[in-house]
Structure 1
């Protein structure tokens, strides 16, 4: 009987060990620099603590990102560079103070993913059952910030979030945009699916795909995409529409990726806190107001923006729950509250309002 010949041991190209040693040397330099940077950041944190300043400063975060992107000559992409610096700053923040951030949970919802995109993985997170609970956690001082959804590019505004600003003292500190990719996840085969779980907004964003591909399936609405994944993981002939992270968490197979009807499916999230952010040079200001009940009142109230050449990027109305046929108006505009043109426009607007409130000035996402 012939002996089975062993394959020859693969030899690495002669330059590979040398290149790896060079990489090891660079890694050592990076580690040394990271620790030095962290020490300096902690020193900054001590100075901020003495002055009662929050360790998280959105305008400084923007400044660091933009400076690094300007200096980047590649081959690393700007997106990868930003992701690396997000985690560097997240780790440093956790040493200055253990920031606690509330979000509309449970874990692995898109709001959780947006929170990670904004604050990194070293921050302590608190999942909340509702948008109201997110606001309450910050108002009561149990969390430093909260991340809540405000609008989707295909489904429109999240009315509950808008309504919360009417009575809350919380302000908008920052915003996050997240590209939304919905996935059909299950433990069974696609042909075996009889019911699909997800939240109402997700079903709305995948309506056409579902009609074409699973027209006989029963659609069951639940509170979140993560809850949908949890149910699908233990229910026979069931699937869910959720993030790939939720699928990994519950060991579901990804049967179809990116099933949303619109290729440009983006959700905007707000970071709410207690203090207005300083100017960065590329900011937004959000306001809330009501107008007098007379013909042309809304037209007249918007004239100061035109005169001051302030661009409005969004205007939404919500009915008042305190008085019939009375409406609150939510407006986003370009520029910071400290910008002279914005300040002039708001002074002119406030004179014609029965109620006026600045919701925040913050870096544009």
Structure 2
């Protein structure tokens, strides 16, 4: 497995591309984009606006957190799967360590409420339960929105939970760093684009299938017979009936190579979301 926090191992070549991320600035997705692309061409957008801008071609690429080791799938996976035209061109796993950010002059003992994205609150729950069990937990659209809200508040009793970059952008100070940092707390982003990367020799492919429950075991049998290496399966609602589901199936290999290519060609109901260098 690649080093989770090594940006140099995860660099993606970009030339004058407009890259959207979940804004406002100061979110973990903002930090992931800085790791991957540097500061040029980044555009922070609210979730619904981000997906609309990608679908319309207003932005060339989008960076979206799709799974975490603590909560599983994020609220942003389903909107990706709903896009009619999308190619997953990269994945980026990052080990997270949160910072508790507050206005200058505020002390840890002053904090009465912590503001963060719902996923972040779940990821830092063990620390909050132990260190700040009585604090009020308030949800925000993201780490950037949380930090921005704390910076604009007149209260001296609020702090946000997110990446340190939020403090740099909004003039907050860090009261505690590296909260819940560790191999147990990893978020994986997808980079969405238009053109599938060429095989690297160590790739992953994300497949999507809309299938009746009664046929799912047969599909898995066919995948096993094709000697495909299944890495993960995520079940999502079809939003039609109880006995139909969407399945995101991730397998080792590239969809343009070998047994996986043959399987995809023989199974028209299986949609290739993307093949990309495997980082996790």
TM-score in terms of structure 1 length: 0.69
CA contact (8 A) 2:96 2:182 kept: no
Superposition deviation, residue 156 in structure 1: 0.7
- Residue 140 in 1 paired to residue 56 in 2? yes
- Residue 124 in 1 paired to residue 41 in 2? yes
Superposition deviation, residue 164 in structure 1: 3.1
Seen in structure 2, the aligned counterparts of structure 1 residues 364 and 191 have a Cα distance that, compared at 3 Å, is: same
CA contact (8 A) 1:102 1:145 kept: yes
Q: How many residues align?
A: 271
CA contact (8 A) 1:185 1:240 kept: yes
Equivalent residue, structure 2, for 1:209? 127
Seen in structure 2, the aligned counterparts of structure 1 residues 347 and 219 have a Cα distance that, compared at 3 Å, is: same
Superposition deviation, residue 163 in structure 1: 4.2
Equivalent residue, structure 2, for 1:199? 117
Equivalent residue, structure 1, for 2:202? 282
Equivalent residue, structure 2, for 1:182? 98
User: Aligned to 2:193, which of 266, 273, 276?
Assistant: 273
- Residue 242 in 1 paired to residue 162 in 2? yes
Equivalent residue, structure 1, for 2:223? 305
Q: How many angstroms apart in 1 are the aligned matches of 2:261 and 2:207? A: 12
1:17-37 CA-partner distances (Å, limit 9, x unpaired): xxxxxxxxxxxxxxxxxxxxx
CA contact (8 A) 1:205 1:262 kept: no
Q: Secondary structure at the match of 1:247?
A: helix
Superposition deviation, residue 347 in structure 1: 4.2
Q: CA RMSD in A?
A: 2.3
Equivalent residue, structure 1, for 2:278? 364
Equivalent residue, structure 2, for 1:169? 85
Q: Secondary structure at the match of 1:116?
A: helix
Query: Which runs of 5 or more residues in structure 2 are unaligned?
Result: none
Q: How many angstroms apart in 2 are the aligned matches of 1:145 and 1:325? A: 34
CA contact (8 A) 1:102 1:146 kept: yes
CA contact (8 A) 1:171 1:275 kept: yes
Equivalent residue, structure 1, for 2:248? 330
Q: Secondary structure at the match of 1:146?
A: strand
Q: Secondary structure at the match of 2:145?
A: helix
1:45-103 CA-partner distances (Å, limit 9, x unpaired): xxxxxxxxxxxxxxxxxxxxx9xxxxxxxxxxxx58x38x959x66xx3xxxx211011
Equivalent residue, structure 2, for 1:43? none
1:249-298 CA-partner distances (Å, limit 9, x unpaired): 2222211112227553111111111222221111111111123453xx22
User: Aligned to 1:219, which of 113, 134, 137?
Assistant: 137
Seen in structure 2, the aligned counterparts of structure 1 residues 327 and 163 have a Cα distance that, compared at 3 Å, is: farther
Q: How many angstroms apart in 2 are the aligned matches of 1:361 and 1:308? A: 18
Seen in structure 2, the aligned counterparts of structure 1 residues 358 and 331 have a Cα distance that, compared at 3 Å, is: same
Q: How many angstroms apart in 2 are the aligned matches of 1:274 and 1:322? A: 28
CA contact (8 A) 1:135 1:170 kept: no
User: Aligned to 2:23, which of 77, 80, 105?
Assistant: 105
Greater share of residues in strand: 2
